[in-house]
Amino acid sequence: MKSIYISILVFVLLLSNQMSAIAQCAMCRAGIENNVSNGETTIGAGLNMGILYLLSMPYLLALVLGYLWYRNAKKRKGKFLFHGEKY
Pair 32, 44: CB distance under 8 Å: yes
Q: So what's the pLDDT on residue 80?
A: 62
Domain residue limits, the chain: 1-40
Q: What is the pLDDT along the chain (87 residues), one digit of tens a residue?
A: 788 888 888 888 877 765 555 555 777 778 878 888 888 878 777 887 888 888 899 999 999 999 999 999 988 887 765 555 555
**This prediction's pTM:** 0.47
Q: So what's the pLDDT on residue 58?
A: 92
Q: So what's the pLDDT on residue 48?
A: 78
Q: So what's the pLDDT on residue 68?
A: 95
How far is it, in rounded angstroms, from Cα 47 to Cα 53? 10
Cα 59 to Cα 30, 67, 85: the distances in Å are 29, 12, 36
Q: So what's the pLDDT on residue 69?
A: 94
User: What does the H/E/C string look like for 11-80?
Assistant: HHHHHHHHHHHHCCHHHHHHHHHHHHHCCCCHHHHHHHHHHHHHHHHHHHHHHHHHHHHHHHHHHHHHHH
